Amino acid sequence: MVWFDTPYSTGTMLLDVVTNSIELDFTSKTSQSVTYVSDPHRPGNGSSGSWIADGSAILSSTYNVETDTFSLETPSALLLGRLSAIINSQNSVPLTVTASVEFSQPAIAQAFVQYALRRRPDGVRTWAFGSTGPAAVGSRLRAQDDMEDEAAIQFLQGAFLAVLSPFQVNSNVRGLSFKVLDRNS
């Protein structure tokens, strides 16, 4: 059990309820990283902070010495906000669109790769291009901001076509295809 409290010192036997504590399981670990983050504008006995163990936020609990049990404490609005931000950031995997274009000659495909890499449009996070065959170019595109799937697809296809259009005037494009990958691909 880990907690912060000013009246206790090393070697003190616990006789009362200990609030804002966490229990760490060392069954299969020899070490763990634990951080306690508190708001410097709200001093006190440690009840205004948040626990992070091995990079994950943990809700604090109350340890009852008499029953040898833990019960979760009601999280503060600040902690709920932090947890919500962490959860939302992990669920906001951007949609990926791939584009494949086939040219009439390998030299033209190579020139397009160099041309496209120098022209990443605003709002595009991933703008990767490479050769996928003798005269074929493949690309992987992701939007900078999380958007609804349909809007992301239209935005990324439009961004690709806006770069391809000025290049293809004399390039003999033989084929173009888009593929939408789900958010877990």
For 45-79, the three-class secondary structure string (H helix, E strand, C coil) is CCCCCEEEECCEEECCEEEECCCCEEEECCCCHHH
C-alpha closest to that of 125 among 149, 93, 167: 93
Both 109 and 159 in one domain: the answer is yes
Both 103 and 162 in one domain: the answer is yes
Q: What is the pLDDT of residues 130-170, one digit of tens each?
A: 999 899 999 999 888 777 888 889 999 999 999 998 887 56
Q: What is the pLDDT of residues 67-82, one digit of tens each?
A: 777 777 666 777 677 7
Domain count, the chain: 2
Both 78 and 112 in one domain: the answer is no
pLDDT top residue among 104 and 12: 104
Q: What's the domain range around 156? A: 96-181
Asked if residue 149 is part of any domain, the answer here is: yes
Both 105 and 157 in one domain: the answer is yes
Beta-carbon contacts of 67 under 8 Å, excluding residues fewer than 6 positions away, are none
Among candidate residues 36, 65, 91, the one where a domain is terminated? 91
Asked if residue 104 is part of any domain, the answer here is: yes
Both 104 and 133 in one domain: the answer is yes
Both 79 and 136 in one domain: the answer is no
Among candidate residues 56, 91, 126, the one where a domain is terminated? 91
Among candidate residues 91, 115, 149, the one where a domain is terminated? 91
Residue 142 contacts residue 181 (beta carbons within 8 Å): no
Asked if residue 7 is part of any domain, the answer here is: no
Both 177 and 103 in one domain: the answer is yes
Confidence label for 102 from pLDDT (cuts 50, 70 and 90): very high
Beta-carbon contacts of 138 under 8 Å, excluding residues fewer than 6 positions away, are 98, 99, 100, 129, 130, 131, 132
